[in-house]
Amino acid sequence: MTETRRKPVGRPAGSGKSSSGHSQSLVRGLNILEGLAAAPSGLGLSDIAQIVGLAPSTTHRLLQALHKQGFIIQDADLGLWKIGVKTFQIGNTFLEARDFVATARPFLRQLTQDSGETANLGIRDDGMAVFLAQSESSQMMRMITRLGSRAPLHASGVGKALLAWLPDREVERILQSRGLNRVTENTLDTPSRLREGLAEIRRQGYACDREEHAIGLHCVAASIHDEHANPLAAISVSGPVARIPESRLAELGGLVSRAAREITLQIGGRLPTLEEIAKRA
């Protein structure tokens, strides 16, 4: 009787690459995409090969594979390779799916822990600041804002942090629509005073509400930016003047601005460049 041997289960016969080989190709392909993403005007074959450290022939095979899948395109006239529509679609999915409120929550809790005061997150809606998230202070006397409540942009820390990074035409539109109502005797209620205040925010990286929204309360806020460096939201720390005197504003400003910067980076945003800051000065 002839014994039939069962063939070992494993990689199919004739398979050209091991799993590690496929992984290496994937990493190389991703490196190419990163290189092209950093060069919007496109790159030639030799430049790409130098960036990824591969021979031109190997680089060309990877480029052809990425091109076949729609991740990159080639300029027919110049021969330069550029990021394709599919890569944009994948990146745009991330931007649409990001939840900056959820991302900000642990930072709000950390701000409360570090400062001992209430931390808030707000956005701009119809010319007003709207509060969406909060981490409450455990202090007996503390600042509490009802979620969903609104405050004038020009008379709140969160609002001014958002206003400071808006295009000038948008600021003018808001001022014409909403005006500069005097909420307290400290409110910046003239265009010139407000513009001076917004310039100060851009210089130091955070906004201060010095009893401008409520007498007896100080607030420090900083803006979270989207991928175009536009203001997406703002976070703040607020408390009574007795615990947040003028001498403590800079310290809290550093805490809040660092947290806003970290949130910005985590959601795929970017901070304004020095040139963009100078244009608004």
Cα(152)–Cα(184) distance, rounded to whole angstroms? 12
pLDDT of residue 6: 38
Report yes or no: 57 and 21 within 8 Å, Cβ to Cβ: no
| pLDDT, mean of residues 176-185 | 91
pLDDT of residue 3: 39
pLDDT of residue 24: 84
| pLDDT, mean of residues 20-37 | 83
Domain locations along the chain: 20-95, 98-279
pLDDT of residue 5: 38
pLDDT of residue 148: 79
HSE toward the beta carbon, residue 28, CA cutoff 13 A: 23
Model confidence band, residue 61 (pLDDT cutoffs 50, 70, 90): very high
List the Cα angle 130/133/139 in 5-degree steps: 115
Cα(238)–Cα(42) distance, rounded to whole angstroms? 47
pLDDT of residue 4: 37
In 3-state terms, what secondary structure has residue 132?
A: strand
**What does each C-alpha distance from 234 to 17, 45, 121, 230, 249 come to in angstroms?**
50, 43, 6, 11, 17
| pLDDT, mean of residues 3-22 | 43
In 3-state terms, what secondary structure has residue 196?
A: helix
CATH class of the domain whose range is 20-95:
mainly alpha
pLDDT of residue 120: 95
Report yes or no: 257 and 220 within 8 Å, Cβ to Cβ: no
Model confidence band, residue 1 (pLDDT cutoffs 50, 70, 90): very low
| pLDDT, mean of residues 222-243 | 94
Sequence-separated contacts (24+) of 41-48 with Cβ below 8 Å: 41/80, 41/82, 42/75, 42/78, 42/80, 42/81, 42/82, 43/80, 43/81, 44/79, 44/80, 44/81, 45/79, 45/81, 48/81
pLDDT of residue 263: 96
In this predicted structure, the answer to whether residue 22 has a pLDDT above a threshold of 90 is: no
Closest by CA position to 278, among listed 199, 205, 225, 206: 199
Q: Tens digits of per-residue pLDDT, 96-154? A: 556 888 899 999 999 999 999 999 999 998 889 989 899 988 887 777 777 878 899 99
pLDDT of residue 11: 39
pLDDT of residue 56: 92
Model confidence band, residue 93 (pLDDT cutoffs 50, 70, 90): low
Helix (H) or strand (E) holding 263: helix 249-266
CATH topology of domain 98-279: Beta-Lactamase (3.30.450)
Residue carrying structure tokens 């910005």: 264
In this chain, the answer to whether the domains covering 20-95 and 98-279 adopt an identical fold is no
